[in-house]
């Protein structure tokens, strides 16, 4: 028997209390290591992967590190606070403050080692799976061989080694500095009656209202408003738990209720206030997980619809009269066929490109001018061949003479043309032609070519014929639109064509949604996959935070319920009191987190094209998260009740 | 020969902050001789626990001196205080304060190992101590497997295993039933008589106090009166005497 042996045994005896903390740390190490293994895999490093997917994984790594720093510092110090009594005892027995510090340092390093070994081993095991999944998601031409790059190993060791070591040193130093008295008496002295201030209650609601308003009313300024929104929400939520809850419970307390109710309300007033910080963290984590996963899943579901809404054709070639193109419509068709993509439909649309002047405006904007019959014919063909687009393509009667429709892509959020009612078409060398705009249609009939007009004026056939006769040659354009089967995979054909076209020519004359689609799809798949791991990590953190809180109040509750039993509280009643309390502890952060994410998703939908509906996927994510929390709750309830309520205990703990 | 000397000890709480200033100890003088068994009694808030915390070096006095043999406790720094506690003091708490993660033998061994002792002689010394307290069969059991009385006797074993100069006990019978209390007090008596241990016990239980040889009553942070048990006096008579002194201390008509 020596001091070191006893200390080691003592530390191992506390393992149960540290399980949640250890598991979360290990998962953090695991996720980080897996991402690193992927990013530093030589096959991945040397090409084959888009920079955005790489950026996402790197970003996720940073998130994991930030999380690890926060989690390790916050929860380890909270766990140590539970052991104040034990440290106090050691000091009374004559341990030097330095020895206590050493002991904590030693324990921290032991735990860090365990977390890193377990995390890296699990990470190595899962990397194979991860690589296979990424292979499929990213649709790489060659599969990635399994490897555990030395750099990934070094990086994970260095990053987490530093985080853990810094934390261990900091904690040891802090424990050392606290006086023995604080450690001995720290147990019961800190209880303060729950009070609230009207001013802070108001501040809490004001913060939340401001955050929600900022989010909903200024969606487009999201980059500028994000940080203030996060700060306001965090502060508002914290005050919600520490002030508003106390206010509500104080009012409930004044109303006379049953004995059980008084007990629940009285205990909750203390509990929620004491746990305000943890509840805030859990709420924010829940909101982040639900929002990001719901948003990403919802968007991924709609990528195809969003893409085809803005760019309905697989390829559009815009041919200006008198300008030869590097890849003609005919060549485009044969390239598709050479790559075994069947052209389902090829449409040719004659249009004019003319300057247009809005009423009350001095400047001219080039627009496409299309005849009503071309519009009708094209729309009918598109509705026929792309049934998913039908609901976004309105059927409208042709305009009368002197009137027109303004048609624009649904991808544009808003602009000066949104509410245009009249204007003038400028035909070079002739008088301006005044027209009345009957309506604005948010639907794309043509792909949106980068440096070509964004708006289309649909005019009566006779006006079109007249202007067409007046307009000079270069104003005449012919749009060749192709729809190919299985277009999502036509990347190779498009790339072959693009390779022959200089950049500026491509921007003015060609547009295909395929490259963007492929990249977006890859992006979202990566986000979902990486996000999944980060979400699991966050979820575990939520769980262990709550688990830890329960551990912290266990002893106090054991005392209380033993006392209550003596004055006649039945086991059934004790169970129902604790069940209500636990339900609230678990449900409150999920519900408030849900409220935050509903606002965030509403905010997001403001930024999305019309017709994109991410709510169903959001609902599924909420369901999964809530379901997992319910499992946590059931397990926690079973364990906690068994340990707190005297009648349920297995194996008595002495007198 | 005095083991412990307390000279004009004062402790003021809340002096740093504006508002209520609370004098927990107001110039206390106390001497404990070698081999004495002294009880300190007083109403709640009279400063008993504060005194004990100061004696153990767990808190700093506002003024006054504490001498243990030739050593001034108040002059020691944090690390020296730790060494002082581990070599010269034994502490028994009201709520035992055993570590649930360690067995009875390991709990008892803590003070020795803390002072750098290791190897078989630690175990021998533990067994010797534990046998004296009648716990020899429970060496490898965990605290939660023991009764309250056994736990408290384990705590006493931990307090004497390193043969301290003085044992400080803070309401040691506070959590025990009357049979266990009596057993524990008899242990204290045996320690005092057979091993010549010096014991300073804080209690508000007159029955517990009746086992000691001298009682110091404190009130409002100072010594109010003292009561000595003369050599031949029966414990029951001493008990009656304590009750009357307490009545005076608490201002009740007896």
CA-nearest residue to A3 within chain B is B113
Say yes or no to pLDDT of A49 above 70.
no
Contact criterion met (CB < 8 Å) for B82 and A96: yes
Contact criterion met (CB < 8 Å) for A6 and B122: no
Say yes or no to pLDDT of A261 above 80.
no
CA-nearest residue to A103 within chain B is B114
Considering the domain boundaries, does residue A269 fall inside one? Answer: no
Of B82, B101, B117, the CB nearest to A10: B101
CB B183 within 8 A of CB B137: no
- CA–CA min distance A9, chain B (Å): 7
Instruction: Give the length of chain B.
Output: 254
Distances (CA, A) of B167 to A30, A408, A454, B90: 52, 91, 91, 5
Contact criterion met (CB < 8 Å) for B89 and A654: no
Task: Return mean pLDDT, chain A.
Answer: 83
CA-nearest residue to A85 within chain B is B97
Enter the tokens of residue B141.
Answer: 């059991």
Strand B63-68, strand A455-459: pairing: unpaired
Query: A480 or A38: whose pLDDT is higher?
Result: A480
Boundary (domain end) residue, out of A175, A190, A205: A190
CA distance A376 to B5: 109
CA distance A109 to A11: 12
- What is the DSSP-derived secondary structure letter of residue A367? E
Of the pLDDT bands very low, low, confident and very high (cuts 50, 70, 90), residue A180 is low
Mean pLDDT of A64-79: 82
Q: Which chain A residues are closer than 8 Å to B105 by Cβ?
A: 1
What pLDDT was estimated at residue A651? 42
Enter the tokens of residue A124.
Answer: 């190595």
Q: Which chain B residues are closer than 8 Å to A14 by Cβ?
A: 101
Mean pLDDT of A164-171: 90
Instruction: Give the length of chain A.
Output: 655
Provide the 3-class DSSP secondary structure of residue A511. Answer: strand
Provide the 3-class DSSP secondary structure of residue A395. Answer: coil
The pTM is what?
0.72
Secondary element (H or E) of residue A219: none
What pLDDT was estimated at residue A655? 33
Residues A537 and A651 in one domain: yes
Residues A418 and A447 in one domain: yes
Highest mean pLDDT among A18-22, A94-98, A113-117, A512-516: A113-117
Q: Where are the beta strands (DSSP E) in B85-221?
A: 89-92, 166-170, 199-202, 214-219
Residues A497 and A526 in one domain: no
Considering the domain boundaries, does residue A641 fall inside one? Answer: yes
Q: Which residues contact B201 (CB under 8 A, 6 or more apart)?
A: B37, B38, B39, B40, B168, B169, B172, B188, B208, B209, B212
CA distance A85 to A476: 87
Tell me if chain B has a CB within 8 Å of the CB of A227: no
CB A159 within 8 A of CB A120: no
Say yes or no to pLDDT of A579 above 50.
yes
What pLDDT was estimated at residue A399? 86
CB B203 within 8 A of CB B239: no
Maximum Cα–Cα distance across chain A: 106
Residues A356 and A484 in one domain: yes
End-to-end Cα distance, chain B: 36
How many C-beta neighbours within 10 Å does residue A627 have? 10
Residues A74 and A156 in one domain: yes
Radius of gyration of chain B, Cα coordinates, nearest whole angstrom: 18
User: How many folded domains does chain A comprise?
Assistant: 4
How many CA atoms are closer than 13 Å to the CA of A134, on its beta-carbon side? 28
Provide the 3-class DSSP secondary structure of residue A48. Answer: coil
What pLDDT was estimated at residue B37? 94
Contact criterion met (CB < 8 Å) for A93 and B158: yes
Secondary element (H or E) of residue B156: helix B148-160
Considering the domain boundaries, does residue A528 fall inside one? Answer: yes
Distances (CA, A) of A539 to A34, A298, A632: 18, 20, 10
Tell me if chain B has a CB within 8 Å of the CB of A84: no
What pLDDT was estimated at residue A654? 37
Distances (CA, A) of A511 to A300, A307, A377, A480: 22, 12, 21, 11
Q: Which residues contact B167 (CB under 8 A, 6 or more apart)?
A: B89, B90, B91, B92, B156, B159, B160, B191, B197, B198, B199, B200
What pLDDT was estimated at residue A2? 83
Residues A15 and A27 in one domain: yes
Tell me if chain B has a CB within 8 Å of the CB of A450: no
CA-nearest residue to B102 within chain A is A10
Residues A88 and A220 in one domain: no
Say yes or no to pLDDT of A186 above 50.
no
Query: A370 or A275: whose pLDDT is higher?
Result: A370
- CA–CA min distance B101, chain A (Å): 5
Residues A467 and A448 in one domain: yes
Say yes or no to pLDDT of A348 above 80.
yes
CA distance B186 to A68: 55
Of B53, B85, B101, the CB nearest to A14: B101
Distances (CA, A) of A30 to A126, A218, A367, B222: 9, 38, 55, 62
Q: Which chain A residues are closer than 8 Å to B90 by Cβ?
A: none
Residue B33: phi, psi to the nearest 5? Answer: -85, 160
- CA–CA min distance A81, chain B (Å): 16
Could you read off the pLDDT tens digit of each residue along chain B, which spans 254 residues?
889 999 999 988 765 555 567 788 888 999 999 999 999 998 877 888 888 888 888 788 889 999 988 889 888 888 888 888 888 999 898 888 888 888 999 999 988 888 888 888 888 999 999 998 888 888 899 998 888 889 999 999 999 999 999 999 988 998 888 899 999 999 999 999 988 999 999 998 899 999 999 999 998 888 989 999 887 888 888 999 999 888 888 877 65
- pLDDT by residue (tens digit) across A392-428? 788 888 888 888 888 887 766 556 666 777 888 888 7
Residues A206 and A232 in one domain: yes
How many C-beta neighbours within 10 Å does residue A371 have? 23
- pLDDT by residue (tens digit) across A302-343? 777 778 878 888 899 988 888 888 888 888 898 888 888 888
Residues A186 and A213 in one domain: no
CA distance B133 to B155: 10
Its domain, for residue A477, covers 312-512
- Helix and strand numbers (H, E) in chain B are 8, 10
- pLDDT by residue (tens digit) across A107-156? 889 889 999 999 999 999 888 888 887 777 766 666 778 888 888 999 99
Contact criterion met (CB < 8 Å) for A99 and B144: no
Considering the domain boundaries, does residue A322 fall inside one? Answer: yes
B contact set with A (CB within 8 A):
53, 56, 58-59, 78-79, 82-87, 89, 91, 97, 99-102, 105-106, 109-111, 113-119, 122-123, 126, 143-148, 151, 158, 177
The interface predicted TM-score of the complex, written ipTM, equals: 0.87
- CA–CA min distance B119, chain A (Å): 6
CB A583 within 8 A of CB A547: no
CA distance A589 to A625: 12
Residue-wise burial string across B123-154, b where 16 or more C-beta atoms lie within 10 A, e elsewhere: bebbeebbebbebeebbeebbebbebbbbbbb
Helix, strand, coil content of chain B in percent (nearest 5): 40, 25, 35
Boundary (domain end) residue, out of A133, A162, A190: A190
B115: nearest Cα among A367, A2, A409, A392:
A2
Say yes or no to pLDDT of A443 above 70.
yes
Strand B71-72, strand B63-68: pairing: antiparallel
How many C-beta neighbours within 10 Å does residue B89 have? 24
Tell me if chain B has a CB within 8 Å of the CB of A150: no
Inter-residue long-range contacts of A323-327, CB under 8 Å, 24+ positions, other chains counted: A323/A474, A325/A505, A325/A509, A326/A500, A326/A501, A326/A502, A326/A505, A327/A497, A327/A500, A327/A501, A327/A510
CA distance A517 to A489: 10
Contact criterion met (CB < 8 Å) for A1 and B59: no
B interface mutation test: which of A1, A7, A558 has the most B CBs within 10 A?
A1
CA-nearest residue to A176 within chain B is B78
Q: Please give the torsion angle defined by the CA atoms of residues B157, B158, B159 and B165, in that order, rounded to the nearest 10 degrees.
A: 90
Considering the domain boundaries, does residue A264 fall inside one? Answer: no
Mean pLDDT of A172-177: 82
Considering the domain boundaries, does residue A267 fall inside one? Answer: no
Which burial class, exposed, middle or buried, applies to B26 when counting CB atoms under 10 A from its CB (0-12, 13-18, 19+)? Answer: middle
Contact criterion met (CB < 8 Å) for A14 and B56: no
- What is the DSSP-derived secondary structure letter of residue B27? E
- CA–CA min distance A176, chain B (Å): 10
Residues A530 and A631 in one domain: yes
CA distance A500 to A331: 11
CB A278 within 8 A of CB A359: no
Considering the domain boundaries, does residue A268 fall inside one? Answer: no
Residues A66 and A109 in one domain: yes
Of A10, A181, A655, the CB nearest to B148: A655
A289: nearest Cα among A299, A301, A281:
A281
Boundary (domain end) residue, out of A455, A484, A512: A512
Considering the domain boundaries, does residue A301 fall inside one? Answer: yes
Of the pLDDT bands very low, low, confident and very high (cuts 50, 70, 90), residue A47 is low
């Amino acid at each position: 028997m020596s001091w070191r042996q006893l200390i080691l045994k003592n530390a191992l005896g506390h393992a149960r209390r540290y399980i949640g903390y250890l598991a979360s740390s290990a998962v953090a190490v695991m996720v980080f290591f897996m991402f690193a293994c992927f990013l530093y895999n030589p096959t991945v490093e040397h090409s084959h992967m888009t920079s955005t997917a790489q950026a996402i994984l790197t970003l996720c790594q940073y998130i994991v590190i930030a999380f690890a720093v926060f989690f390790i510092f916050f929860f380890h110090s909270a766990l140590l606070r539970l052991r104040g009594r034990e440290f106090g005892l050691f000091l009374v027995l004559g341990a030097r403050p330095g020895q206590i510090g050493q002991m904590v340092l030693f324990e921290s390093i032991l735990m860090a080692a365990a977390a890193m070994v377990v995390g890296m081993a699990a990470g190595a095991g899962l990397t194979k799976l991860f690589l296979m999944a990424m292979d499929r998601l990213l649709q790489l031409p060659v599969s990635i061989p399994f490897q555990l790059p030395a750099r990934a190993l070094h990086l994970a060791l260095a990053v987490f080694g530093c985080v853990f070591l810094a934390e261990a040193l900091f904690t040891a130093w802090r424990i050392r500095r606290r006086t023995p008295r604080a450690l001995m008496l720290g147990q019961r002295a800190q209880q303060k009656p729950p009070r609230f201030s009207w001013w802070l209650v108001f501040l809490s609601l004001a913060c939340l209202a401001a955050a929600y308003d900022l989010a909903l009313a200024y969606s487009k300024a999201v980059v500028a408003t994000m940080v203030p929104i996060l700060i306001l929400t965090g502060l508002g939520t914290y005050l919600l738990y520490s002030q508003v809850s106390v206010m509500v419970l104080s009012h409930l307390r004044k109303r006379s209720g049953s004995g059980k109710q008084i007990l629940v309300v009285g205990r909750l007033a203390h509990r929620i206030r004491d746990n305000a910080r943890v509840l805030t963290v859990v709420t924010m984590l829940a909101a982040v997980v639900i929002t990001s996963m719901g948003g990403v899943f919802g968007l991924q579901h709609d990528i195809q619809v969003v893409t085809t809404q803005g760019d309905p054709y697989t390829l559009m070639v815009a041919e200006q009269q008198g300008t030869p193109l590097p890849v003609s419509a005919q060549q485009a068709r044969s390239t598709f066929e050479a790559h075994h993509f069947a052209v389902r439909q090829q449409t040719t649309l004659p249009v004019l490109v003319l300057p247009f002047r809005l009423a009350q405006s001095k400047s001219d904007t080039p627009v496409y001018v299309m005849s009503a019959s071309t519009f009708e014919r094209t729309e009918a063909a598109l509705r026929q061949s792309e049934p998913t687009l039908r609901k976004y393509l309105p059927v409208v009667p042709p305009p009368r003479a002197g009137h027109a429709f303004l048609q624009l892509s649904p991808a544009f959020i808003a602009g000066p043309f949104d509410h245009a009612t009249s204007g003038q078409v400028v035909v070079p060398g002739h008088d301006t032609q005044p027209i009345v705009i009957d309506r604005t249609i948010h639907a794309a009939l043509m792909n949106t070519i980068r440096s070509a007009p964004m708006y289309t004026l649909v005019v009566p056939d006779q006006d079109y014929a007249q202007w067409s006769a007046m307009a000079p040659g270069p104003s005449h354009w012919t749009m060749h639109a192709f729809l190919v089967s299985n277009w999502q995979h036509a990347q190779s054909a498009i790339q072959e064509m693009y390779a022959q076209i200089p950049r500026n020519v491509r921007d003015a004359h060609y547009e295909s949604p395929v490259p963007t689609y492929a990249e977006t799809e890859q992006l979202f798949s990566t986000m979902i996959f990486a996000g999944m791991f980060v979400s699991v990590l966050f979820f575990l953190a939520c769980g262990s935070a709550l688990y830890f809180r329960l551990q912290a109040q266990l002893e106090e509750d054991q005392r209380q319920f033993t006392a209550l039993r003596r004055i006649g509280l039945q086991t059934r009643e004790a169970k129902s009191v604790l069940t209500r309390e636990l339900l609230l502890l678990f449900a409150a952060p999920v519900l408030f987190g849900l409220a935050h994410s509903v606002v965030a998703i509403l905010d997001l939908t403001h930024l999305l094209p019309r017709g994109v509906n991410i709510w169903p996927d959001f609902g599924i994510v909420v369901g999964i998260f809530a379901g997992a929390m319910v499992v946590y709750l059931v397990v926690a309830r079973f364990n906690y009740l068994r340990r707190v309520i005297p009648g349920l205990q297995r194996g008595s703990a002495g007198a | 020969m005095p083991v412990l000397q307390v000279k004009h000890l004062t402790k003021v709480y809340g002096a740093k902050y504006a508002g209520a200033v609370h004098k927990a100890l107001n110039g206390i003088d106390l001497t404990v001789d070698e081999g004495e068994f002294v009880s300190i009694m007083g109403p709640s808030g009279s400063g008993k626990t504060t005194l004990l915390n100061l004696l153990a070096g767990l808190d700093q006095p506002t003024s006054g001196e504490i001498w243990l043999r030739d050593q001034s406790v108040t002059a020691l720094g944090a690390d020296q205080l730790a060494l002082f506690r581990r070599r010269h003091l034994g502490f028994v708490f009201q709520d035992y304060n055993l570590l649930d993660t360690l067995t009875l033998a390991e709990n008892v061994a803590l003070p020795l190992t803390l002072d750098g002792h290791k190897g078989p002689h630690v175990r021998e010394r533990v067994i010797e101590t534990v046998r004296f307290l009648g716990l020899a069969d429970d060496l490898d059991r965990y605290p939660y497997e023991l009764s309250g009385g056994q736990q408290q006797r384990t705590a006493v074993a931990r307090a004497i295993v390193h043969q301290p100069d003085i044992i400080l006990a803070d309401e040691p019978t506070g959590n025990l039933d009357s049979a266990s209390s009596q057993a524990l007090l008899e242990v204290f008596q045996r320690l005092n008589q057979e091993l010549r241990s010096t014991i300073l016990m804080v209690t508000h239980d007159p029955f517990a106090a009746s086992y000691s040889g001298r009682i110091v009553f404190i009130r409002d942070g100072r010594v109010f009166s003292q009561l000595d048990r003369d050599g031949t006096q029966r414990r029951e008579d001493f008990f009656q005497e304590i009750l009357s002194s307490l009545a005076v201390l608490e201002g009740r008509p007896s």
